[in-house]
Amino acid sequence: MLLPRLYPILDAGCFPNANAMFAAAEELAAAGCTLLQYRNKSGSARRMLDEARELRARRGAGVKLIMNDRADLCLAAGFDGLHVGQDDLLPESARRIIGPVRWLGVSTHNPEQLAEADKTSADYLAIGPVFATTSKANPDPVVGLEGVRRARELTRKPLVAIGGITRANACSVIEAGADAVAVISDLLPDPRKSAEEFLKILR
């Protein structure tokens, strides 16, 4: 699998309403983003499914959609993949639900978790938070660029770095060994312009 350099995450909690999130998704697709993750930590399953289906209806051609946490909603919404964290379904349980074709990503926060996830059928692994982040209530300890380098040594799977990544530090993260950077906050102001700048930087 080939991960795009920029991996935007649409966190429902970062938008004033669903329409603002849908508009951001359209702007990101227009900028050239080819992968979007939908994350909603507080919505009901019904609301999440409604939003996920609307995102699918509005996505541009060639944009893959990844569901955060929920294997059932990934299937119900017809998404292209699933991303699970350390407190969610085990990767192999998730794989049994979503099948062999959809992408599966796993979040890790230290070398032990990454080495464990590397043994699974996950298509890509995420490591972070690389820098201090404001998008999680109780973030794991910062791993820094050294954590990315260490993760790169431990896996041949595509590696996504996440946590506090901005246009100012994205290149250093790629240079440390990440294949892609996952971004939430630094795409919120003017999503299209922000994404275009990221894509230019990450070429």
**Cis omega (within 30 of 0) for bond into 8:** no
Catalytic site includes residue 107: yes
Cα distance between residue 9 and residue 71, in whole Å: 17
- Taking a C-beta distance cutoff of 8 angstroms, is the pair 173, 145 a contact? yes
Q: Is 39 a catalytic residue?
A: yes
Catalytic residue selected from 53, 56, 64, 136: 136
Give the phi and the psi of residue 99 in degrees, each rounded to 5. Answer: 85, 180
Active-site annotation holder among 39, 59, 95, 192: 39
Catalytic residue among 59, 70, 107, 135: 107
At 119, the amino acid letter reads K
Angle made by CA atoms 145, 150, 152, in degrees to the nearest 5: 95
Active site residues: 39, 107, 136
